[in-house]
A and B are shown apart, each in its own frame.
Chain A
Amino acid sequence: MKTLARRIVIAAAAAALMVGAAHAHRAWIVPSATVVSGDNAWVTLDAAVSNNLFFPDHRPMQVDAITITAPDGSVVKPANASVGQYRTTFDLKLDQKGTYSIAQANSGLNASWKEGTETKRWRGTMAEYVSQGIDKKPGVELTLSNRRVETFVTNGAPTPIKSTGKGLELSGAHPNDLYSGEEVTFKLTDNGKPAANVEITLIQGGDRYREEAGEVTLKTGADGSFKVKVANAGMYWLEAESRGTASMEGKSVNTMSTLVAVLEVLPG
């Protein structure tokens, strides 16, 4: 299936094109449709962490961690939610016209250090980090992580996605207005600012049926932009990860932001 990788044409702003290493345990939220119409529009969604896209084979995503944001910014509860062995499923009625975001977002501080040959891990607040003496552990690494797993569904005409200003987020091209053979320019932001030189991975779903996943890796330009053009319509899994350092309450912390977006490309 070498031709597939060739047929997925991706033009990166930084023109960095290479095939990355295989990644296991991918998180995703997949809607049954991304473009719907009418006054009684529903979609059903699956949320899971799996190896193959988008086949549940590992564990379900916790439904309480998922937030649905309606076009007007209000929060909508998932309907008919059920957590199964391998995947969580829930429904969404799109009462408003416009674009809904369905996301699992979390952030937290975690630390790691070595005690002999053993790697110790810790999770908590900055106050606990100090009060529990974690900051005094030899060689401790403190990381502030932001993670967002998202998808989008539009009833009627697409409306702009409001930035939360936290972690990595997509803007620019509309995620529910993607067509095969047409190039679009997305913009990646990190805490609301352009995310430059961030690595992005794009894989088409259905990799179980291909010898090679056809995974493509690219990088954002200085302004956070990257261009995407795919030959095949289908459901795609996009992942971006940025690492850096920041200062938090006078302490130097590593930062790690991850974004996963499931995007449907319709026949152009």
Chain B
Amino acid sequence: MRTFLTLAVPVMTAGAAHAGGIELTVEIPKLSVAEYHRPYVAIWIEDASGKVAANLSVWYDVDLKDSEGEKWLKDIRQWWRRTGRTLNMPMDGVSSPTKAPGVNKVTFPSDKGALASLAPGDYKLIVEATREVGGKEMVEVPFKWAPGSEATASAKGKEELGAITLKLTK
């Protein structure tokens, strides 16, 4: 369908319709526990040397009084250690409210934000979840970043995260 549009109305391709990038689904499992709080989740891209190449999202209680949500950011431990502790929160385009259990879809355009400056190569997408009075889990999805090409990759968490699917779109 996109091909057809491209051919028929080439002028439109310069606009939003062309903005490929990463389409991500993050499943947050529904848990039957006495005290449930939505998890804090950080999503970032790590390069082959283990360095943070792109900060994509942090889902936390952004709207609590006195920035109380930031108190718990250090509990997204690996993210905190690798990048969180050097950032000024909230971060435009990265900070976002917590998400409900279910499949959450987020997209990151390749021409904006962190992906705009991501060099082609092999990376890992990392999703880390930590839940108040609950557990912690980190899921990694290796992928090759080559803007303009399409691919999918996925991984699955065990406790705090469900399926993570990563789709690279043109």
Comparing A13-21, A32-40, A116-124, A236-244, the segment that makes contact with chain B is A32-40
Specify which of A36, A41, A156, A179 is in contact with B86 (CB 8 Å cutoff).
A156
Whether B122 sits at the interface, judged by CB under 8 Å, is: no
State which of B8-16, B71-79, B142-150, B158-166 sits at the interface with chain A.
Answer: B71-79
| A36 and B71 in contact, given A156-B85, A156-B86, A157-B86 (Cβ under 8 angstroms) | yes
Say yes or no: B68 contacts A37, CB within 8 Å.
Answer: no
The residue that B74 contacts in the complex, of A35, A158, A179, with Cβ under 8 A, is A35
**Does A267 sit at the interface, judged by CB under 8 A?**
yes
Chain B residues with CB under 8 Å of A267's CB are 77
A38 to B85 CA separation, bound complex (whole angstroms): 10
| Chain A residues, CB < 8 A from B77 | 266-267
Bound: A151/B71 CA distance, A: 21
Contact status B70-A38, CB under 8 Å: yes
User: What bracket does the count of chain A residues touching chain B fall in?
Assistant: 10 to 19
- Most chain B beta-carbon contacts within 10 A, residue among A38, A40, A179: A38
Residues of A27-74 contacting chain B, CB below 8 A: 35-41
Contacts of B70 in A (CB 8 A): 37-39
Q: Are B68 and A40 in contact (CB under 8 A)?
A: yes
Most chain A C-beta atoms within 10 Å of own C-beta, residue among B66, B68, B72, B74:
B74
Interfacial residues, chain A to chain B (CB-CB below 8 A): 35-41, 156-158, 177, 179, 266-267
Question: Told that A37-B71, A38-B70, A38-B73 touch, could you supply 5 new A-B pairs with CB distance under 8 A?
Answer: A37-B70, A38-B68, A39-B66, A156-B85, A266-B81
The 16 sampled A-B contact pairs (Cβ below 8 Å) are A35-B85, A36-B71, A37-B70, A37-B71, A37-B72, A37-B73, A37-B74, A38-B67, A38-B68, A38-B71, A38-B72, A40-B71, A156-B85, A157-B85, A157-B86, A266-B77
